[in-house]
Amino acid sequence: MRIRKRHAWTAVLIGTFALPVLQPQGFPSLEAPVDALLGWPSRFELANPHAWNAGSDRGGGADGERARALETIAISEREEHFRLLDELAQRAQLGELLQGFQRLPLARPARILRAHDPSSTRRSLLLDRGSEDGLEVGQAVVQGRVFVGTVASVSAHTARVQLLTDPYARFEVAIRTSDGTRATAFVRGGAGDTLPLRNLRGAAGLHVRPGDPVLTSNADERVPAGLVVGYVVAAADDDLDAISDVRVRPSVDLERSTTVLVLVPGT
Amino acid sequence: MGVVVLVAWAVLAAAIPDAMPAWGSIDRHAPDLFVAFAVWLGVRGTGLHVVGWSILLGLLADCASLDPLGTQGFVLGAVTLTLARPRGDRRERAGLGLAAAVAGGTVLARVLAALRALPLHRDVDLVGAFGASLPTALWTAVASWPLLAFLDRTGLADDLTGRRSARAA
């Protein structure tokens, strides 16, 4: 009887093993609402650890309830002030970048509810905006002019963003060398501080050097070209036909703010 | 009550990586409370039915993650199945024994997750996954110790493990 039960559970496990193979995109209509439900407590600042780490200094020392209450108000107001300044700065940077675009995307600010994926092998964000705010799968998420990632799934009031650094992320990027040559490649996410560039073809005059900027390319209409992805930190011998070992340090730094901008197509 | 504890645990486990400090790279190897609960179910369970609860917890983890549905469901279910004891086996791990089981379960979960990713992603680094699992295992064992001790002491999730019905019998 015991053996039969173990076999039954093994069969169930084989089923769960097969599920993501048969349906690699998952079941967004089922998963997104549960994700929103599990992330719901983070809408309150006290239950949003990212907001504690990203901004506020909660050092106390004041005596009395009134002083503590005032201190709390001051901290919240200060945080709101810096959040708005950050949002304005991000909008200004983005506005500079998008000058000349005929059909400007709307930059919709979204608060970060969760900055880490519960799975230690994945990298994602949970935002407090969803399909009711116009968010759709594939839209670009930026921090000023820095590319953060793309929307991976959306529920009515939340969205999950696949970060540039997610090990299974793959984005087409353009590298601009110091002598002005442009080449395209793919950047793959990974667990380390730096990300590998793939499929960068060595061309005549292409000399990749540490410090060269890596930007988004124009491969995806929902991701504007020219957003900063990062900088080259290491490049192998560029005499080869194909430059195989270029490492990029991503510019995204989620600790410096509690909001990001989602680029929603303009009308 | 057990199901409420399971869902509350899932909410906590999804939030805990954000609360970890950057000091000592703890935020990069944040405690995995999903695995800790799956190990606890396996160690404290009075039968194989606990595998079902682990799979459910894994499915909740999948919903709160980029992983497609079934990824953590398989991993946590397999971890619990490995540790689950047949009905009648009364040996119990406590204290350091439980912490060691949590650490071992975390390493097993990471390796299983990497193996699980092979059919979908060809360039999976199994050695790297094993190496990265060691600090995660340490922090998971440390962070889950007081929480699991609380569950043991209060018996809040005993109806999931089957200990409540075993006591009544």
- Smallest Cβ–Cβ distance between B13 and the set A24, A118, A126 belongs to A118
Q: Is B29 close to A120, i.e. CB distance below 8 A?
A: yes
Higher pLDDT: A61 or A212? It is: A212
In this structure, the number of other CB atoms found within 10 A of the CB of residue B168 comes to 6
Shortest Cα distance, chain A CAs vs residue B87, angstroms: 8
Architecture (CATH level 2) of domain A170-251: Beta Barrel (2.40)
Residues B74 and A263: their CA atoms lie apart, in Å, by 36
Which B-chain residues 20-59 have CB contacts (< 8 A) with chain A?
21-22, 27, 29-30, 32, 34, 47-48, 51-52, 55, 58
Query: Which residues of chain A does CATH 2.40.10.340 include?
Result: 65-164+255-264
- Among A78-82, A106-110, B82-86, B94-98, the range with the most confident prediction by mean pLDDT is A106-110
Q: Are B163 and B132 in contact (CB under 8 A)?
A: no
Tell me what percent of the residues of chain A surpass a pLDDT of 90. 9
* Residue B105 pLDDT class (50, 70, 90 cuts): very high
Q: Looking at beta carbons, which residues of chain B come within 8 Å of A52?
A: 19
Candidate CATH numbers 3.40.50.1220, 2.40.10.340, 1.10.1760.20, 3.40.50.2000; the one for domain A65-164+255-264: 2.40.10.340
Q: Does B138 touch chain A (CB under 8 A)?
A: no
Q: Is A25 close to B68, i.e. CB distance below 8 A?
A: yes
Segment A194-212 shows an average pLDDT of 79
Q: What is the pLDDT, as a whole number, of residue B89?
A: 60
Q: What is the pLDDT, as a whole number, of residue B76?
A: 94
Summarised one tens digit per residue, pLDDT across range A216-233 is 888 888 888 888 888 888
Mean pLDDT of chain A: 80
Coil, helix or strand for B69? Answer: coil
* Residue B91 pLDDT class (50, 70, 90 cuts): low
Which A-chain residues 192-251 have CB contacts (< 8 A) with chain B?
none
Shortest Cα distance, chain B CAs vs residue A240, angstroms: 23
Q: Does A191 touch chain B (CB under 8 A)?
A: yes
Domain parsing of chain B, residue ranges: 2-16+23-161
Q: Is B64 close to A48, i.e. CB distance below 8 A?
A: no
Question: What is the SS3 string spanning chain A?
Answer: CHHHHHHHHHHHHHHHHHHHHHCCCCCHHHHHHHHHHHHHHHHCHHHCHHHHHHCCCCCCCCCCHHHHHHHHHHHHHHHHHHHHHHHHHHHHHHHHHCCCCCCCCEEEEEEEEECCCCCCCCCEEEECCCHHHCCCCCCEEEECCEEEEEEEEECCCCEEEEECCCCCCEEEEEEECCCCCEEEEEEECCCCCCEEEECCECCCCCCCCCCCEEEECCCCCCCCCCCEEEEEEEECCCCCCECCCEEEEECCCHHHCCEEEEEECCC
Shortest Cα distance, chain A CAs vs residue B97, angstroms: 24
Residues B5 and B154: their CA atoms lie apart, in Å, by 12
Summarised one tens digit per residue, pLDDT across range B107-134 is 999 989 888 887 777 677 778 778 888 9
Q: Does A7 touch chain B (CB under 8 A)?
A: no
Q: Is A49 close to B19, i.e. CB distance below 8 A?
A: yes
Residue B65 is classified by DSSP as S
Question: Residue A143: is its pLDDT beyond 80?
Answer: yes
Best mutation target, B11, B18, B26, to test chain A (most A CBs within 10 A): B18
Q: In chain B, which residue's Cα lies nearest the Cα of A36?
A: B64
Q: Is B25 left (phi over 0), alpha (psi -120 to 50) or beta?
A: left
Higher pLDDT: B51 or B161? It is: B51
Which B-chain residues 148-167 have CB contacts (< 8 A) with chain A?
none
Best mutation target, A38, A124, A254, to test chain B (most B CBs within 10 A): A38
Q: Does B111 touch chain A (CB under 8 A)?
A: no
- Smallest Cβ–Cβ distance between B66 and the set A27, A39, A117 belongs to A117
Q: Is A24 close to B67, i.e. CB distance below 8 A?
A: no
**Cβ burial, residue B39 (10 Å; 0-12/13-18/19+):** buried
Number of Cα atoms under 13 Å in the Cβ half of residue A204: 0
